[in-house]
């Protein structure tokens, strides 16, 4: 590339290349939408609109920055010209006034350029974050796992019913299933039942609980665990699923991305006590695992 190449031409070529890359990325996003998945299609459509808007804004900022740079460069050339012809100037006052005026113009442009540069840096960082997140969303474990769970549910004529991720996801999902079957409960009631059952049958649960460092739970650790289960938003897992099945006297089937569904409490299965169906996502959120309920497709 020549050092004398027109900056405007360079920027124009860069913008064309970026738009071409964006179009290729958009095609990948469109192809990632499963056929008939209206919700995913809407999400991807909004994502594409955001990407196009961000590119337009960033390229406009770059064009403005280049324009400002050219203006500042012109001012500098005028100042240099004044310096070289200062000896020939007939009036020092006139020259001084001209330099002051041009200096003010340069100062004003410099402040404007600083603001634009700051915005440009933020726009570039945001665009890069969006681009990286798009790649992760399409090829990451979360996206792959979610698609597998959706396919597994679809074969059973079911779909995901979203549950808020607030520590109560297991209990909220079970509550949703109970309501579908004409029963009602609450997080507090379910947590209390689970806590009491685990303490009553501690030998069935204590051996499976370990600390972060791998050490086994002590009796005090177990008491605190049961207390937190009943009185906080402590996350519930497979042990709590087992306790819920026993206290509710209902089987619970957990659909996951790998392997067949895990069924707990099969001994309770009958027409009067239909199976509670949940779906488990290991990579749903940055904080860890998550349970959703299901509904008819």
Catalytic pick from 56, 166, 227, 231?
166
Q: What is the DSSP string of 187-244?
A: HHHHHHHHHHHHHHTGGGTGGG-B-TTSPBP-HHHHHHHHHHHHHS-PPP-HHHHHHH
Catalytic pick from 226, 275, 279, 290?
290
Q: Catalytic residue at 99? A: no
Q: Catalytic residue at 226? A: no
Q: Catalytic residue at 3? A: no
Catalytic pick from 134, 169, 275, 279?
169
**Secondary structure (3-state) at 44:** helix
- The closest of 244, 245, 254 to 280, measured between CA atoms, is 254
The token pair at 98 is: 């001209």
Residue position matching structure tokens 């309501």:
179
* CA separation for the pair 103, 95 (Å, rounded): 12
> In sequence order, which residues have a C-beta less than 8 Å from that of residue 25 and are 6 or more positions away?
51, 131, 134
Torsion of CA 107, 109, 110, 114, to 10 degrees: 140
Q: What's the angle, vertex CA 15, arms to CA 72 and CA 121, rounded to 5?
A: 60
Catalytic residues: 166, 169, 290
């Amino acid at each position: 590339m020549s050092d004398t190449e027109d900056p405007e031409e360079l920027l124009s070529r860069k913008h064309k290349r970026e738009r071409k890359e964006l179009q290729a990325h958009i095609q990948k996003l469109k192809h990632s939408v499963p056929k008939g998945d209206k919700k995913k299609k809407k999400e991807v459509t909004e994502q594409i609109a955001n990407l196009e808007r961000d590119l337009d804004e960033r390229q406009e900022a770059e064009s403005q920055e280049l324009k400002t740079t050219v203006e500042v460069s012109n001012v500098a050339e005028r100042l240099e010209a004044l310096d070289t012809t200062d000896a020939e100037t007939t009036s020092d006052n006139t020259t001084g006034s001209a330099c002051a005026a041009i200096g003010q113009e340069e100062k004003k442009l410099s402040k404007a350029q600083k603001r634009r540069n700051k915005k440009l840096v933020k726009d570039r960082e945001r665009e890069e974050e969006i681009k990286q997140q798009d790649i992760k969303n399409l090829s990451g474990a979360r996206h792959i796992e979610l698609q597998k769970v959706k396919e597994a549910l679809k074969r059973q004529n079911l779909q995901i019913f979203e549950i808020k991720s607030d520590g109560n996801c297991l209990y909220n999902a079970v509550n949703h299933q109970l309501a579908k079957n004409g029963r009602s409960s609450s997080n507090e009631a379910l947590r209390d039942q689970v806590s009491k059952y685990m303490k009553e049958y501690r030998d069935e649960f204590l051996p499976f609980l370990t600390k972060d460092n791998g050490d086994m739970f002590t009796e005090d650790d177990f008491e605190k665990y049961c207390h937190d289960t009943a009185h906080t938003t402590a996350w519930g897992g497979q042990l709590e699923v087992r306790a819920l099945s026993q206290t509710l006297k209902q089987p619970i089937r957990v659909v996951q991305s790998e392997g067949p569904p895990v069924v707990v409490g099969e001994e309770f299965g009958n027409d009067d006590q239909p199976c509670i169906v949940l779906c488990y996502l290991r990579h749903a959120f940055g904080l860890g695992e998550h349970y959703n309920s299901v509904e008819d497709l």
